[in-house]
Amino acid sequence: MIPEIGSFALVLALLVALVQGSLPLIGAQRGIPAWIALARPASSMLFLLIAVAFGCLTASFINNDFSVVYVAQHSNSRLPLEYRISGVWGGHEGSLLLWVLMLSLWSLAVAAFSRSLPDDMVARVQGVLGLVAAGFLLFILLTSSPFERLLPGAEDGRDLNPLLQDPGLIFHPPMLYMGYVGFSVAFAFAIAALLSGRLDAAWARWSRPWTTAAWIFLTLGIGLGSIWAYYELGWGGWWFWDPVENASFLPWLVGTALIHSLAVTEKRGSFKNWTVLLAIGAFSLSLLGTFLVRSGVLSSVHAFASDPKRGIFILVFLAVVVGSSLTLFAWRAPKVSLGGAFALMSRETLLLINNVLLLSAAGAVLLGTLYPLVIDALNLGKLSVGPPYFNAVFTPLMVPLLFLMAVGPVARWKHTSLAEIARPLRWAFGIAVAAGVSIPFFYGGWSGSVALGMGLAIWIVGASVLQILARTRSGLPPRAFWGMHLAHMGVAVTVVGIVMVTQYESERDVRMAPGDTVKTGDYQIRFLGVEGISGPNYNAAKGNLELLKDGQLVMPLHPEKRKYLSSAMPMTEAFIDPGLTRDIYVSLGDPLEGGDGAWSVRVYYKPFVSWIWGGAVLMALGGLLAASDRRYRLKSTAARAGKLAAQGAAS
Amino acid sequence: MKPRQKRLAIIVGGLATLGIAATLILNAFQSNLVFFFTPTQVANGEAPKERAFRIGGLVKEGSLQRSDIVARFIVTDTAKEIPVAYEGILPDLFSEGKGVVAQGVLSADGKFTATEVLAKHDENYMPPEAQAAVNKAHEATRTLKQ
């Protein structure tokens, strides 16, 4: 009964989404107040119905209802409760349901926090969100309903993929989806502005906190995914340039460019067309990401067995979204005014360079990700683009970006001079050069890339600290100021992590018999042996190893090699001793021939690896400060005037 | 500077940046493409000698030897076989009779030294390349029989 209610709720949701996606848009265009007024209640209704459907699926998982195909494929009666709940989004159908749930949540949030916006603007934004929701609900109902029944019902479920039985999975996909889907709000604002012809500073101001909010979730989602890959996949890497990772990174790069371009549009009224294009781009790349992950066209870490036919639907949907928004753009853009002029040396120019660099990086990643797919689709052979390509392209583009990151906030709008920039930054520059050059000598030996990376990180932090000191002398700066500097310092922290771990890590796969010792970093690791244990839904070989420093025991290490009962699928559980300046990482390989109880053991020493994710957390916190700045919560005069005008037009 | 010169400077600067970026990208792209070959193609000498490439197929039953940290196994597309050596720990779902994709270089004696064995993350998932290799071999045998 419960699955049928869920199914029914989804059909109703589609109808509501179609209403939300049509009447308010037409109403706003023709000035019909009753139709405009539909937008807010429709979005509440949409959220309610999708939440009911999501609740029904969750209930089926909790009740172990294996007569539902999706539950039978992704759960098992022995699966612990928390994974039965997170199993809801452990497969294709459920993740899509989560996708639309997030979308309706964003739509609801826009309705709730947009009291200061003119009603016709709200109607247009909700209308666009309604259309996107309708597309995805149609997709779910036509190709991937999670509520399909299995007759007769299965005795027990196939179990959730052991890789996904992990706390990381509970949070990683919802975070990532919140980010992906969040760009639909920026997209909806851009389309609404194009439709109404009011592409102005007020529009940029409304979009900014929403774009930043989406970016925060995406940043955390990517960070969590990276942590999960690090400890759960058992390879100890934090980024693989895997197509699906790239798919989440592309909207992040374009979204970051969008945040900076929006700043110019709000403060100076320039870059309007460009900002609209970025908003369309960020959302299109989110859709592309969904397509890549969900269509099964990729040979990747994330490529779980799936149905390629579904890809066609998303591809068509993507084509419709991109095609129609670009057509609208081409029609409306020539009427948009150009905004304030600026000198060559100005903050506008620096932010323009920021955008060019970020988009070049995004273009390079897109090329490397899509090229193999296109070649394969054209039957020209199978090939892949390896991490060396991405590293070779990405690093040179990031160096100027990081350098200018410290300069941008110092530069004034409109016009600035070299002296104005150089004077406050000269100390930061001196310290950065001195520290950058000397740090590699203190830590494991000279390396040019460490000097460059550390120098840039210190340069960014130094510049931020100097500016904060200068600014706080004349009263408390607004949250947006703190947010920007915190986010920039977060990038610096991530850079430190990346540079140090890339240059000074040690990765060894070794054969170890009981009693053997290997050296890693300043530590030794002794292998004692392996014993059998059993968990709630698995049996495992548990390794007994010791971490030693100067012959003294620091701690015992217990990596595991698990075999899950329901699927007999083996699973490596790495044991990590995390630390501020280094992680010790051990995992078990396989028992080796030779009769001496030897195993292959993976021993990694990862200096500063946790800084990579610490930096992401700082970036997200910075985003939170910036998005919650006071001026977004004040009713701006422009917004009030717009609202009055809309009311005037309505009456 | 006059506004016109300024605009020109911005445009030239932008184009120069884009040009440099594009050159960088395409250069790196050219030298980092990794092509895929089936065991039959490798046996026919179609694979490059110096450059790294990928092979895919099934791990032959009973071929896996793992006495040292170097694992040795045979990859087959059911028509031709290639011996593979890989130093390191194999991914969890690597097993005999199942699909595999490996990246590495071919030595003069026809042995493949893998630097990477690609993991898959679902026991029922067959890497598309491995599937394609087996399908191709099957098609070839069918045409031979006819």
- Residue-averaged pLDDT of chain A: 88
Same domain, B3 and B57: no
> CA of B54: how far to CAs of A34, A370, B33, B45, in Å?
62, 18, 11, 14
Using pLDDT thresholds of 50, 70 and 90, give the confidence band for residue A637: very low
Q: How confident is the model over A208-237, as pLDDT tens digits?
A: 999 999 999 999 999 999 998 888 776 778
Q: What is the pLDDT of residue A415?
A: 87
Pairwise CB contact (< 8 Å): A299 & B129: yes
Same domain, B10 and B80: no
Tokens of A490: 């977060």
Tokens of A527: 């292998």
Same domain, B50 and B83: yes
Same domain, B27 and B43: no
Pairwise CA distance, residues A338 & A254, whole Å:
22
Pairwise CA distance, residues A454 & A433, whole Å:
9
> CA of A516: how far to CAs of A528, A592, A598, in Å?
8, 14, 9
Pairwise CB contact (< 8 Å): A301 & B121: yes
Q: What is the pLDDT of residue B126?
A: 67
In contact, B16 and B75? CB cutoff 8 Å = no
Closest CB from B35, B101, B122 relative to A305 = B122
| Residue numbers in A near B90 (CB within 8 A) | 589-590
Tokens of A551: 């012959």
Pairwise CB contact (< 8 Å): A353 & B17: yes
Strand bridging mode A538-549 / B70-76: unpaired
The whole-angstrom distance between A571's CA and the closest CA on chain B is: 6
Q: What is the pLDDT of residue A633?
A: 74
Q: Tell me which residue has tokens 């955390």.
A: A220
Q: Tell me which residue has tokens 């799936």.
A: A306
- The SS3 assignment for A241 reads coil
Tokens of A55: 């609740």
- Of A609-623, A637-651, B46-60, minimum mean pLDDT range: A637-651
In contact, A485 and A464? CB cutoff 8 Å = yes
Average pLDDT over residues A306-313: 67
Average pLDDT over residues A270-283: 93
Average pLDDT over residues A366-377: 85
In contact, B99 and B58? CB cutoff 8 Å = yes
Pairwise CB contact (< 8 Å): B119 & A233: yes
Length of chain A measured in residues:
651
Q: Flag whether pLDDT at A393 surpasses 70.
A: yes
The whole-angstrom distance between B141's CA and the closest CA on chain A is: 20
> Which one of A353, A384, A563 would you mutate to disrupt binding with B, by most B Cβ within 10 Å of its Cβ?
A384
Q: What is the pLDDT of residue A298?
A: 56
More confident: B129 or B19: B19
The whole-angstrom distance between B110's CA and the closest CA on chain A is: 21
Q: What is the percentage of chain A residues whose pLDDT exceeds 70?
A: 94
CATH number of the domain that residue B94 is part of: 2.40.50.140
Using pLDDT thresholds of 50, 70 and 90, give the confidence band for residue A28: very high
Q: What is the pLDDT of residue A296?
A: 59
Peptide bond into A578 cis (omega under 30): no
In contact, A97 and A57? CB cutoff 8 Å = yes
Pairwise CA distance, residues A206 & A214, whole Å:
14
Q: Tell me which residue has tokens 């990517």.
A: A222
Same domain, B84 and B63: yes
Instruction: Fill in the amino acid letter for A491.
Output: V
Pairwise CB contact (< 8 Å): B33 & A383: yes
Within chain A, how many helices (H) and strands (E) appear? 20, 11
Pairwise CB contact (< 8 Å): A389 & B90: no
Same domain, B54 and B72: yes
Tokens of A424: 């406050």
Average pLDDT over residues A227-253: 86
- The SS3 assignment for A529 reads strand
- Of A69-73, A122-126, A569-573, minimum mean pLDDT range: A569-573
Pairwise CB contact (< 8 Å): A305 & B128: no
Pairwise CA distance, residues B131 & B119, whole Å:
15
Query: What is the model's pTM?
Result: 0.91
Q: How many CB atoms lie within 10 A of CB A476?
A: 9
- Of A39-43, A487-491, A589-593, minimum mean pLDDT range: A589-593
Q: Which domain holds residue B28?
A: 1-33
Average pLDDT over residues A628-648: 59
Instruction: Fill in the amino acid letter for A51.
Output: A
Closest CB from B29, B101, B123 relative to A368 = B29
Pairwise CA distance, residues A146 & A53, whole Å:
10
Using pLDDT thresholds of 50, 70 and 90, give the confidence band for residue A350: very high
Pairwise CB contact (< 8 Å): A590 & B90: yes
| Residue numbers in B near A301 (CB within 8 A) | 119, 121
Pairwise CB contact (< 8 Å): B32 & A305: no
The whole-angstrom distance between B41's CA and the closest CA on chain A is: 12
Pairwise CB contact (< 8 Å): A353 & B124: no
In SS3 terms, A95-107 reads as HHHHHHHHHHHHH
Closest CB from B32, B119, B121 relative to A386 = B32
Residues 6+ apart with CB under 8 A from B68: A511, A592
Pairwise CA distance, residues B69 & B34, whole Å:
26
Pairwise CA distance, residues A92 & A430, whole Å:
53
The whole-angstrom distance between B127's CA and the closest CA on chain A is: 6
Same domain, B53 and B28: no
Pairwise CA distance, residues A445 & A452, whole Å:
14
Q: How confident is the model over A168-221, as pLDDT tens digits?
A: 778 888 999 999 999 999 999 999 999 998 888 889 999 999 999 999 999 999
The stretches of A378-478 forming alpha helices (DSSP H) are: 387-407, 418-442, 448-472
- The SS3 assignment for A21 reads helix
Measured in whole angstroms, the distance separating CA A381 from the mean position of its chain's CA atoms is 32
Q: In chain A, which residue's Cα lies nearest the Cα of B7?
A: A344
Q: What is the pLDDT of residue A16?
A: 97
Q: In chain B, which residue's Cα lies nearest the Cα of A302?
A: B121
The whole-angstrom distance between B139's CA and the closest CA on chain A is: 16
- Of A234-243, A333-342, A488-497, minimum mean pLDDT range: A333-342
Q: How many CB atoms lie within 10 A of CB A330?
A: 9
- Of A39-43, A419-423, B23-27, minimum mean pLDDT range: B23-27
Closest CB from A235, A344, A382 relative to B10 = A344
Pairwise CB contact (< 8 Å): A589 & B90: yes
Q: A141, A130, A181: which is closest to A53 by C-alpha?
A: A141
Average pLDDT over residues A410-415: 88
Same domain, B12 and B50: no
Using pLDDT thresholds of 50, 70 and 90, give the confidence band for residue A3: very high
Domain count, chain B: 2
Query: In this complex, how many residue pairs, one in chain A and one in chain B, have their CB atoms less than 8 Å apart?
Result: 124
Q: Flag whether pLDDT at A645 surpasses 60.
A: no
Q: What is the pLDDT of residue A166?
A: 82
Pairwise CB contact (< 8 Å): B121 & A570: no
The whole-angstrom distance between B123's CA and the closest CA on chain A is: 7
Q: In chain A, which residue's Cα lies nearest the Cα of B53?
A: A383
Same domain, B18 and B66: no
Average pLDDT over residues A397-414: 93
Closest CB from A388, A572, A592 relative to B32 = A388
Instruction: Fill in the amino acid letter for B42.
Output: V
Same domain, B127 and B59: yes
Q: What is the pLDDT of residue A306?
A: 52
Q: Please write down the long-range contacts of A306-310, taking CB distance under 8 Å and 24 or more positions apart.
A: A306/A92, A307/A92, A307/A143, A309/A143, A310/A92, A310/A139, A310/A143, A310/A144
Q: A120, A113, A111: which is closest to A36 by C-alpha?
A: A120
The stretches of chain B forming alpha helices (DSSP H) are: 3-31, 39-43, 128-145
Q: In chain B, which residue's Cα lies nearest the Cα of A595?
A: B67
Pairwise CB contact (< 8 Å): B29 & A371: yes
Pairwise CB contact (< 8 Å): A389 & B127: no
Closest CB from B14, B68, B118 relative to A511 = B68
Same domain, B93 and B54: yes
Same domain, B43 and B72: yes
Q: What is the pLDDT of residue A326?
A: 93
Using pLDDT thresholds of 50, 70 and 90, give the confidence band for residue A302: very low
Q: Flag whether pLDDT at A361 surpasses 80.
A: yes
Q: How confident is the model over A476-514, as pLDDT tens digits?
A: 999 999 999 999 999 999 999 999 999 999 988 999 999
Torsions phi, psi for A150 (to 5 deg): -115, 120
- Of A33-37, A374-378, A410-414, minimum mean pLDDT range: A374-378
Residues of B at the A interface, defined by Cβ within 8 angstroms: 1, 3, 6, 9-10, 14, 17-18, 21, 24-25, 28-29, 31-36, 54, 65-69, 87-90, 92-93, 101, 103, 118-125, 127-129, 132
Instruction: Fill in the amino acid letter for A503.
Output: Q
Average pLDDT over residues A609-627: 96
Q: A257, A360, A261, A256: which is closest to A619 by C-alpha?
A: A256
Closest CB from B25, B68, B101 relative to A393 = B25
Q: How many CB atoms lie within 10 A of CB A58?
A: 20
Q: Tell me which residue has tokens 């999501």.
A: A54
Torsions phi, psi for B137 (to 5 deg): -65, -40
Query: How big is chain B by its Cα radius of gyration, in Å?
Result: 22
The four Cα atoms A489, A495, A496, A500 give a dihedral, to 10 degrees, of 170
Q: How confident is the model over A510-530, as pLDDT tens digits?
A: 999 999 999 988 899 999 999
Q: How confident is the model over A54-107, as pLDDT tens digits?
A: 999 999 999 999 999 999 988 988 889 999 999 999 888 898 999 999 999 999
Q: What is the pLDDT of residue A644?
A: 47
- The SS3 assignment for A519 reads strand
| Residue numbers in B near A352 (CB within 8 A) | 10, 14
Q: A591, A627, A521, A604: which is closest to A217 by C-alpha?
A: A627
